[in-house]
């Protein structure tokens, strides 16, 4: 799989490579060109061009392929327009299931569209923000639609929920793997899932936003006897992409 997204847009070649991409209307539906989702339908403007090129977060795609198997249950926390939900859906098969958590109204619309146009039947969309409490919170959708986040100054209000409660009340199946990428709210997500993480020991793909959040999440996961590895070549202290693998129950 050619990692076209790995070519920096700051280089001259990277800039030239991206010029024709700007000419494609955002609403255009195209087949993803390569990788495990090759042939899957995708809306050009719903994500970076790397999504439909198939090279988006190249290393994470490969790592998920290694970790997921048929029948697994995946929590896609911060599902955005659904790239990883589609990938997980294909990897876990009809006996597995994907729960896609996404609070942004625009992203939820794009996510549901992608699931429908690809006839995905093993994925449930939960339009809420995952946090440490059940309730409601302000959400900032200004600027880049892909970086919306919980914020006191947010311009919309969204539902918040804890994963512990969802599993306790049998609203969702327990997870085999969690992919968490929620623009700085990762620690609160883990706190609200402490019970199920310690009981069911899922593999956790964690994108952290900010050094304090990274350090807090790392400390918590180590306390639960998880072994942390870096998804990229950077050391654990400086990367913002972690894979947490469970040891014995804490």
pLDDT digits (tens, 9 = 90+) for 178-222: 999 998 899 999 999 999 999 999 999 999 999 999 999 999 999
pLDDT (0 to 100) of residue 204: 98
By C-alpha distance, which of 126, 190, 188, 189 is closest to 158? 126
Let me know whether 158 and 174 are in one domain. Answer: yes
pLDDT (0 to 100) of residue 20: 62
Contact, 159 vs 185, CB < 8 A? no
Q: How far apart are CA 201 and CA 176, in angstroms?
A: 7
pLDDT (0 to 100) of residue 49: 85
Let me know whether 100 and 26 are in one domain. Answer: no
Let me know whether 171 and 206 are in one domain. Answer: yes
Let me know whether 30 and 126 are in one domain. Answer: no
Count up the domains in the chain and report the number: 2
Bridge pairing between strands 41-43 and 29-31: antiparallel
Q: Calculate the alpha carbon distances from 8 to 17, 50, 171 in Å.
A: 10, 12, 42
How many angstroms from the chain centroid is the CA of residue 18?
24
CATH number of the domain residue 167 falls in: 3.40.50.150
Let me know whether 31 and 138 are in one domain. Answer: no
Let me know whether 10 and 123 are in one domain. Answer: no
Measured in residues, the chain has a length of 250
Let me know whether 109 and 228 are in one domain. Answer: yes
pLDDT (0 to 100) of residue 18: 52
By C-alpha distance, which of 70, 119, 75, 117 is closest to 96? 70
Q: What angle do CA 129, 165, 127 make, to 5 degrees?
A: 25
Let me know whether 21 and 100 are in one domain. Answer: no
CA-CA-CA-CA torsion sign (70, 220, 136, 241): negative
Q: Which domain holds residue 2?
A: 1-56
Residue at which a domain ends, from 29, 56, 83: 56
Contact, 185 vs 208, CB < 8 A? no
Let me know whether 67 and 31 are in one domain. Answer: no
Q: How far apart are CA 69 and CA 60, in angstroms?
A: 15
Let me know whether 164 and 79 are in one domain. Answer: yes
Q: Calculate the alpha carbon distances from 160 to 11, 56, 239 in Å.
A: 41, 28, 28
pLDDT truncated to tens, each residue of the chain (250 aa)?
Answer: 554 555 445 554 444 455 566 778 889 999 999 999 999 999 998 988 889 899 999 999 999 999 999 999 999 999 999 999 999 999 999 999 999 999 999 999 999 999 999 999 999 999 999 999 999 988 887 666 667 667 777 778 899 999 999 999 999 999 999 999 998 899 999 999 999 999 999 999 999 999 999 999 999 999 999 999 999 989 999 999 999 999 975 4
Residue at which a domain ends, from 27, 56, 85: 56
pLDDT (0 to 100) of residue 13: 41
How many angstroms from the chain centroid is the CA of residue 94?
20
Let me know whether 79 and 19 are in one domain. Answer: no
pLDDT (0 to 100) of residue 9: 55
pLDDT (0 to 100) of residue 231: 95
Let me know whether 41 and 111 are in one domain. Answer: no
Residue at which a domain ends, from 23, 40, 56: 56
């Amino acid at each position: 799989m050619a990692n076209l997204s790995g070519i920096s847009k700051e280089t001259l070649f990277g800039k030239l490579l991206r010029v024709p991409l700007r000419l494609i209307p955002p609403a255009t539906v195209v087949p993803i060109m390569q990788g495990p989702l090759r042939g899957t339908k995708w809306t050009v403007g719903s994500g970076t061009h790397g999504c439909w090129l198939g090279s988006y977060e190249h290393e994470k795609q490969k790592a998920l392929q290694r970790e997921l198997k048929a029948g697994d249950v995946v929590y896609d926390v911060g599902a955005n327009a659904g790239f990883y939900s589609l990938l997980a859906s294909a990897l876990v098969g009809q006996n597995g299931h994907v729960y896609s958590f996404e609070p942004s109204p625009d992203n939820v619309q794009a996510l549901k569209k992608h699931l429908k146009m690809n006839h995905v039947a093993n994925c449930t969309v939960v339009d809420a923000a995952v946090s440490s409490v059940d309730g409601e919170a302000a959400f900032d959708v200004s600027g880049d639609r892909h970086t919306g986040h919980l914020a006191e100054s947010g311009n919309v209000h969204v539902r918040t929920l804890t994963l512990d409660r969802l599993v306790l009340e049998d609203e969702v199946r327990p997870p085999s793997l969690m992919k968490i990428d929620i623009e700085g709210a990762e620690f609160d997500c883990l706190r609200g899932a402490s019970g199920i993480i310690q009981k069911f020991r899922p593999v956790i793909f964690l994108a952290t936003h900010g050094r304090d959040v990274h350090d807090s999440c790392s400390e918590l996961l180590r306390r639960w006897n998880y072994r942390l590895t870096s998804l990229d070549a950077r050391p654990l202290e400086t990367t913002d992409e972690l894979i947490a693998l469970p040891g014995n129950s804490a």
